[in-house]
Structure 1
Amino acid sequence: MGHHQGAPMPATLRHAFRAHAHPARSVPCPHEPCHARPHQACIVRVNGRLLKQLHPARIAAWARTTACCPTCAVEPGIPCHKEGIPLAGVHARRIQEAKVTLA
């Protein structure tokens, strides 16, 4: 017998279920080779295991799109830098700022 899928979950319920998830799950994971889609857990591709924690690169991507950086004074969407050289990640203060912005 085929799999029966019911009606889609209403957005209000979906939001309530995601409320306990880290807000960085709202962006895709840039970590090689994870590339989890938005709102999905990060995974280990070799065995398909779901991770309880997000990859640091995903948290950095979320902070980059969400908050200004108090350390290097860049706006959302602009990479953090040190003395004009772009950083691969973000400053720790930017992650803190993203959490405050979300609250």
Structure 2
Amino acid sequence: MTIRSGAPMPEQLRHWMRAKQHPARSVPCRHCGVAAHKPCRLRTANRFLAEPHPQRVSDWARTVACCPECQVTPTVPCHDDGRALATVHDRRQQEAEATAA
């Protein structure tokens, strides 16, 4: 009998198994370099973190929510007087968390 380790998993089951994870894990982390759906890690000690890095949460909020403060659509970075911000506004992050809940 052959056991396959790469068998496809139904999407409903995959979603149920990842439901306890932070939704920001659906995007790769630009801080520690891990791929999507993997936990963030410390680069020096190679230990995994329970929560994602703030940069990863910011990238996730940018991809899923509109910003009520600067009125931009998803995937467009927040701006302050025409200057793009490295992170997102707090209201955009709150909007993303509200829609994910």
Runs (5+) with no aligned partner, structure 1: none
How far residue 6 of structure 1 moved from its aligned partner, in angstroms, is 6.6
In the TM superposition, 1:45-84 aligns within 5 A as 45-84=43-82
How far residue 30 of structure 1 moved from its aligned partner, in angstroms, is 1.1
* 3-state SS of 1:15 partner: helix
Deviates more, 1:4-13 or 1:87-96: 4-13
How far residue 84 of structure 1 moved from its aligned partner, in angstroms, is 1.0
In the TM superposition, 1:13-32 aligns within 5 A as 13-31=13-31
- Which residue of 2 is the match for residue 98 of structure 1? 96
How far residue 36 of structure 1 moved from its aligned partner, in angstroms, is 1.1
- Which residue of 2 is the match for residue 12 of structure 1? 12
Q: Tell me the TM-score normalised to structure 1 length.
A: 0.86
- Look up the equivalent residue of 1:25 and give its one-letter code: R
**Distance in 2, Cα, partners of 1:101 & 1:16:** 17
Alignment: residue pair count: 98
Sequence identity (%): 55
Post-superposition CA distance 1:45-77 (Å, at most 9, x none): 222100011100000000001010001111101
